[in-house]
Amino acid sequence: MTQLVCPFCGPRELHEFEFRKTAASAGGTPVERVYLRVDHPDLSIEHWHHVRGCRAWLVIERNPSTDAICRVRLLGGDAE
């Protein structure tokens, strides 16, 4: 994985982005929300920040076993 496609900026180098947290919540209690993580070897839904670019918050769906990007969308955008 060397690039990500930002909905605003197009394909940009990976170092412009920072991963923040996996998006799926492991449950409803504060402990589950803050500390526990949902881990699927084939699909990871994550929050990323285009911090050294347009600073948009993104929801990225990836396959952590291959690092293939499945889908990128804006956080709080469509269907969020």
Q: Does residue 18 bind other proteins (CB under 8 A)?
A: yes
Q: Does residue 36 bind other proteins (CB under 8 A)?
A: yes
- Distance, in Å, from the CA atom of 68 to the CA atom of 43, rounded to the nearest integer, reads 10
Instruction: Pick from 8, 37, 52, 54 the residue near other proteins by CB under 8 A.
Output: 37
What are 64's two structure tokens? Answer: 């952590």
Dihedrals phi, psi of 37, to nearest 5 degrees: -125, 145
* Contacts with other proteins, residue ranges (CB under 8 A): 1-2, 13-15, 18-22, 26-27, 31-32, 34-41, 44, 46, 48, 62, 64-67
